Structure 1
Amino acid sequence: MPITQAHSGLLARANDSFECETDGAADFYGFGVRLGIYFAWANAYIANTLLPSEIAGASDTNNIFLLVILIAMIKCSANSMLTSIDGLVLMHLSGGFLFGTLSIWGYRTRQYFDNGPQGIRFFGGFGTHSRLIVSLMISAFGLWFWMFGVTDGLVHPGTEQEIVEEPNPPECATLYTFMFAKVRADGVIRIFYIIMCIGCIVYYSIMLLASVIAAWARLGKMLHLYRERRWAETTRLHFATGFKYGE
């Protein structure tokens, strides 16, 4: 007896199944790129949970990956080189950084677990501000992507807009994503992602504003101490996070 008859919930694979490919897939998220991202996630997870001394390096690595993805999405979307499916995959990879391993103030790290709210005092250097800016820009691009990119803002495979040597079948024009099931990216799930992006923009904007105010206040204190020739107190002598650190 065929398996599909024994199990009514299964669907047989159609004989006319098709594949969708883009020219930029290997460059945007090829196996080597994804392998590097996955190792960066694993490195950040181990550092955040077990090795506080490595949090700075892991955070900077994740931030660099996220910045590269952001630059690729902005530049290639402006040149009509980024297709809707490529943008979708890159947005999901960006979400893996933002919601998985990238910690702005250290709430998901061993520092916060060991020191409580006082643990955030280790997170306030240049690295933290750069992560805030990159995360805010990723969220802003994500809002544009889910509002316009999935509809007509980007090139859809299988349409006349796609300029490739081997055109994709017209069925590739419909963009799907996964949310506990296969759903259309331009359907109801789009509203959920728009709300998520707006929430991230509001959160990161508030955090960035607060950090700028704190940095301005610290700069005023540094100038005051500098005028009084109290050189050793004009800046921090210990950085736990940032582009470099020392202990």
Structure 2
Amino acid sequence: MACNYGGNPDMYGLGIRMGFYLQWFGIVIAAWMAKSEVPGLRLVHSFFVGAAFLALILQASWNTIRPIDTYIMLLLTYGSYYCYVPVYLWRLVTAWNPFWDPSRWPVVPTTSLFRALNLVLLLAATSLQIWFWSTGINTLPRDPTCDEYGFFFTKVPLHAGLFVAVNLVFVLQNASNLTVLSVVVVAIELTIQWNNLNGVSDLSTTSQLIPLIVAGGQLLHVLYVWFNPRHDREITRVIGPPRRGGSKRSSTTGGTPPDPWRFRRPAVGIVRPERSFRPSGHAVDTSSSPSSSSNSAQPAAP
């Protein structure tokens, strides 16, 4: 049976969990409603993941965190990356045919900086996942008299061989990003409830209110932009439309559709002559004047 012991509010308190949840759904909603807000949401979420990952690494290196706490933290840090699982499974089904790859047409293109940061975090979180499910789950300190439970669409013993194997090969899969994130939220909350973790549902401290208010404010701003389209158009007018990272776009087999704002009307074959202006305000055509042609024909002085 599960023991009734205190959780770790500094790692996964209610404010911290709500901050992650609001960011997950805020990014998905912003991609539909306010595309100009997506880059900022993605960057802040990467900072959240990086901070949680660093704290988890330190606690694990000091051997001061239990397996159940590590499991919950891995769900938080890796939650948004579970959305990649259906994409890779679909690529496997379609034999990696780029014609059927939905990720080739992102709703909001990402920058080179974000792709690099996201790749580093993904590799780091994946490495930690593999370490935990292969080694850490058996080496981290725990009370052998207490059972610990995880989530796999039902209540499953955390140390069950099948549950460990399933998590090790990442077969948690769903149909859409919202469904994936909803399942991760349910998994985290049910894990806390099943293991009777106390002290992780309080919002009275600064450490819980800061992530909650930051993520909640971002989501409210997304809704504000959605209900006030003029604000979104004003941002686009000032800073320009979003662009893909890098100076040139790499092409894949089958090609990618160009951005709609990259279409330009072809220039008509008319060359306008250069004009200079005298103090009187009369424009003078200098392209056909004898002086200009003679000056251009003279060789440069040594």
- What range describes the TM-score normalised by the shorter chain of this pair? 0.5 to 0.7
The SS at the match of 1:122 is coil
* Match of residue 66 from structure 2: 83
Rounded Cα–Cα distance in structure 1 between residues aligned with 2:118 and 2:103 = 22
Rate the CA distance shift 1:186–1:17 in 2: closer, same or farther, 3 A: closer
Normalising by structure 1, we get a TM-score of: 0.57
Alpha-carbon distance, 1:18 to partner: 4.1
Rate the CA distance shift 1:52–1:121 in 2: closer, same or farther, 3 A: closer
Instruction: Tell me, yes or no, if the aligned pair for 2:52 and 2:73 is still in contact at 8 Å.
Output: yes
For 1:184, which of 157, 167, 189 is the aligned residue? Answer: 157
Alpha-carbon distance, 1:123 to partner: 2.3
For 2:51, which of 49, 62, 68 is the aligned residue? Answer: 68
Normalising by structure 2, we get a TM-score of: 0.47
Rate the CA distance shift 1:133–1:241 in 2: closer, same or farther, 3 A: farther
Alpha-carbon distance, 1:70 to partner: 0.9
**1:131 matches 2:118:** yes
Rate the CA distance shift 1:185–1:116 in 2: closer, same or farther, 3 A: closer
Alpha-carbon distance, 1:28 to partner: 0.2
* Match of residue 280 from structure 2: none
Rounded Cα–Cα distance in structure 2 between residues aligned with 1:121 and 1:36 = 22
Rounded Cα–Cα distance in structure 1 between residues aligned with 2:141 and 2:111 = 40
Amino acid at match of 2:117: S
Map 1:41-56 to 2 at 5 A.
41-56=24-39
Which protein has the larger Cα radius of gyration, Structure 1 or Structure 2? 2
Alpha-carbon distance, 1:239 to partner: 5.5
* Match of residue 274 from structure 2: none
Rate the CA distance shift 1:120–1:52 in 2: closer, same or farther, 3 A: closer
Query: Over aligned residues, Cα RMSD in angstroms?
Result: 3.1
**1:146 matches 2:133:** yes
Rate the CA distance shift 1:126–1:65 in 2: closer, same or farther, 3 A: same
Rounded Cα–Cα distance in structure 2 between residues aligned with 1:86 and 1:31 = 14
Rounded Cα–Cα distance in structure 2 between residues aligned with 1:128 and 1:76 = 27
The SS at the match of 2:80 is helix
Alpha-carbon distance, 1:73 to partner: 1.0
* Match of residue 4 from structure 2: 19
Regions of 4+ moved over 6 Å = none
Instruction: Tell me, yes or no, if the aligned pair for 1:48 and 1:55 is still in contact at 8 Å.
Output: yes
Rounded Cα–Cα distance in structure 2 between residues aligned with 1:180 and 1:39 = 22
Instruction: Tell me, yes or no, if the aligned pair for 2:38 and 2:108 is still in contact at 8 Å.
Output: no
Instruction: Tell me, yes or no, if the aligned pair for 1:150 and 1:186 is still in contact at 8 Å.
Output: yes
Amino acid at match of 1:75: L
Rounded Cα–Cα distance in structure 1 between residues aligned with 2:159 and 2:152 = 13
Bigger RCO (CA 8 Å, 6+ sep):
2
How many percent identity over aligned positions? Answer: 20
Deviations 1:24-80 (A, max 9, x none): x11000111112112212321211222211110111122111111110111110011
More helix by share: 1
Rounded Cα–Cα distance in structure 2 between residues aligned with 1:116 and 1:132 = 15
* Gaps in structure 1 of 5+ consecutive residues: 1-15, 105-114, 160-169, 198-236
* Match of residue 122 from structure 1: 109
Map 1:1-247 to 2 at 5 A.
18-22=3-7, 25-100=8-83, 117-119=104-106, 122-152=109-139, 154-156=140-142, 158=143, 170-171=145-146, 174-187=147-160, 188-196=162-170, 240=243
Rate the CA distance shift 1:116–1:36 in 2: closer, same or farther, 3 A: closer
Rounded Cα–Cα distance in structure 2 between residues aligned with 1:81 and 1:240 = 45
Amino acid at match of 1:117: R
Aligned pairs, number: 161
Amino acid at match of 1:186: H
The SS at the match of 1:186 is coil
Amino acid at match of 1:20: Y
